[in-house]
Amino acid sequence: MSALVLPPSLPVVETFGPTVQGEGPSAGRLSLFLRLGGCNLRCTWCDTPYSWDAKRFDLRKEITRVPVVDLAEWAAAHPHALVVITGGETLLHQKTDGWRSWMAVLRHTTRRVEVETNGTIVPQPVTLGVPRLTFNISPKLANAGDDEDRRIVPEALAALAELSHRDRARFKFVATGPDDLEEIAALVERFHIPPHAVWVMPEGTTAERTIDVARSLAEHVIGQNWNLSMRQHVLLWPGERNR
């Protein structure tokens, strides 16, 4: 009797789009989103707890194994869109057959790909080998609530910072107000992140709060020679899933 061989798949929370990338260097760009399940952090203000929080959500319902061939077909139907892989924490899946197979699909296209990550996991050759793939790294600050030794993994941040010098990675920090900027500056200095690779974005789940926080940050961010990003999906579709 031969063993049953399952096709490579990934634990998918949702696929959506085309929409626009809401955050960071590609904000406003037409995008498809693939959200994977599971996270190694527990940010208090997480906007996607349904991707990892088994206490509040039934993850067997939230997360479905989707064959990579189906993802390839879905992506191919929207050839003009940037592909954004988000979570949860995406790079948790890096050593799986599903990830390897998905990277192989993307490597054989000419499309742009962005991987959202919390910066706690070192990117591996399987991911780095996709030519137009860049990382959007959101290291978490004290405002997220986790202990520093969980949020800040020096080995991973150093590897990602190195990529940021070659425009393969950008850092995007969520700030709740100007008081958070000192902590960002300390990380930027410690890991030698070039200012052109730094984006600051306002925390908030409503358009009003997002704009208020952004207004409180703008002059300070510009003064540091950093970039400021709104969170366009929060402004356009506050509280909605699959946007």
Ligand X SMILES: Nc1nc2[nH]cc(C(=O)O)c2c(=O)[nH]1
* Binding site, annotated residues for [4Fe-4S] cluster: 39, 43, 46
Which residue's CB comes closest to ligand X? 22
Told to check if 19 binds ligand X by CB under 6 A, we report: yes
* Chosen from ligand SF4, ligand X, none, partner binding at 89 (C-beta under 5 to 8 Å by type): ligand SF4
Region for 38 from its dihedrals, namely left if φ exceeds 0, alpha if ψ lies in -120 to 50, beta otherwise: left
Which residues, numbered 46-65, are part of the site for ligand X (CB under 6 A)?
A: 48
Told to check if 90 binds ligand SF4 by CB under 6 A, we report: no
Q: Which two tokens stand for residue 173?
A: 């920090």
Nearest to 230 by CA among 24, 51, 33: 24
- Residues contacting residue 1 through CB under 8 Å, at least 6 positions apart: none
Told to check if 112 binds ligand X by CB under 6 A, we report: no
Contact 127, 28 (CB under 8 A): no
Task: Give the integer Cα–Cα distance in Å for 112 and 227.
Answer: 21
* Chosen from ligand X, ligand SF4, none, partner binding at 39 (C-beta under 5 to 8 Å by type): ligand SF4
Q: How far is CA 146 from CA 71, 152, 165, in A?
A: 33, 10, 28
Task: Give the integer Cα–Cα distance in Å for 72 and 159.
Answer: 29
Q: Which of 9, 86, 90, 229 binds ligand X (CB under 6 A)?
A: 86
Which residues, numbered 143-172, are part of the site for ligand X (CB under 6 A)?
A: none
Told to check if 203 binds ligand SF4 by CB under 6 A, we report: no
Whose Cβ is closer to ligand SF4: residue 93's or residue 105's? 93
Q: Which two tokens stand for residue 104?
A: 């192989």
Whose Cβ is closer to ligand SF4: residue 48's or residue 134's? 48
Told to check if 90 binds ligand X by CB under 6 A, we report: no
Contact 88, 39 (CB under 8 A): yes
Told to check if 116 binds ligand X by CB under 6 A, we report: yes
Annotated binding-site members: 20-22, 35, 39, 43, 45-48, 86, 88, 138-140
- CB 221, min distance to ligand SF4, A: 20
Nearest to 223 by CA among 171, 166, 185, 175: 185
- Residues contacting residue 189 through CB under 8 Å, at least 6 positions apart: none
Contact 90, 126 (CB under 8 A): no
- CB 91, min distance to ligand SF4, A: 11
Count interface residues toward ligand SF4 (CB under 6 A): 11
Q: Which two tokens stand for residue 178?
A: 């100007």
Q: By CB under 6 A, name the binding residues for ligand X.
A: 19-23, 33, 48, 86, 116, 233, 243
Q: By CB under 6 A, name the binding residues for ligand SF4.
A: 39, 41-43, 46, 48, 87-89, 118, 140
